[in-house]
Amino acid sequence: MHPTVIGLFCGLLLGLAWATGGFEGLVITAALGIIGFVVGKVIAGDVDLNEYFGGSSRSSR
């Protein structure tokens, strides 16, 4: 799916969340969307969290 179409759907869903849940609903929906995006990137292998949390870069004793 083209990134423009994905962005359009995200904007429509955020607008729907704002219309039904107010500003708090919009913020919660956006935060959960960002978390889902990051989890998807990690699962796809585009983001390596070891460099942020120091998983494999630790020296063994």
- In the chain, the number of structural domains is 1
According to the model, what pLDDT value does residue 57 have?
52
Give the separation between CA 27 and CA 33, rounded to whole angstroms.
10
Quick check: is 30 in a domain?
A: yes
How many other β-carbons are positioned within 10 Å of the β-carbon of residue 17?
Answer: 20
**8-state DSSP, 60:** P
One pLDDT digit (tens) per residue for the chain, 61 residues: 777 777 788 888 888 888 898 888 888 888 888 888 888 888 888 888 787 787 655 555 5
36 located within any domain: yes
What letter represents residue 59's amino acid? S
Residue 59 lies in a domain: no
Residue 61 lies in a domain: no
Q: Which residues form the domain of 39? A: 3-53
